[in-house]
Amino acid sequence: MATTFTPFPDIGNACPEFTLPAVDGRTYSLKDFSNGKPLVVVFICNHCPYVKAIEDRLITLGSDLKAQGVNVVAICSNDAADHPEDSFENLQKRAKEKNYSFTYLHDESQAVAHKFGAVCTPDYFVYDGSLKLTYRGRLDDSWKDPAKVTKRELYEAVQVLLKNGIVSDDQTASMGCSIKWK
């Protein structure tokens, strides 16, 4: 398992437009998540050990932020031909099994991952209420062991945005498995 780190973020970039099918049977576009509050977009998949390690914390994040009116969207862009665990049908099964608290989209063409510049799973993007990138760091300070988490960095960044503050650009890169490109 080769580890990939996210690059330094292009703070201020606009959130790319997208229209993708979701595991709930609907199709969503960026406008469906634009409510004037921050937006969290996370690239994940089913098979990655890094995602599996943070999955329950991501579900908690989704619930915590949903209660504050903040949308959390996960996108799987992996090539399912080489990684069958990441097929649309398996994404649906996993989301139902774990009762995901966020919308889970499928980017079969991988075009959306390219637009975002996503490189790994998990890869986190936080946009402000005007849909400008403000955070591309990690979820928290312990990717592997939830018992060692002392700081929920992504959650705290969203809280700053909800108070109309400015998120520090001192962000620690996320790491994970590379996106499995076709």
CB 107 within 8 A of CB 139: no
How far apart CA 17 and CA 100 sit, in angstroms, is 23
Place of tokens 């945005």: 161
> How many Cβ atoms sit within 10 Å of the Cβ of residue 131?
17
pTM above 0.85, yes or no: yes
CB 158 within 8 A of CB 167: no
Whether the per-residue pLDDT at 9 is higher than 80: the answer is: no
pLDDT digits (tens, 9 = 90+) for 17-73: 999 999 999 999 999 999 999 999 999 999 999 999 999 999 999 999 999 999 999
Domains in the chain: ranges and CATH: 3-178 (3.40.30.10)
pLDDT score of 8 = 78
pLDDT score of 1 = 55
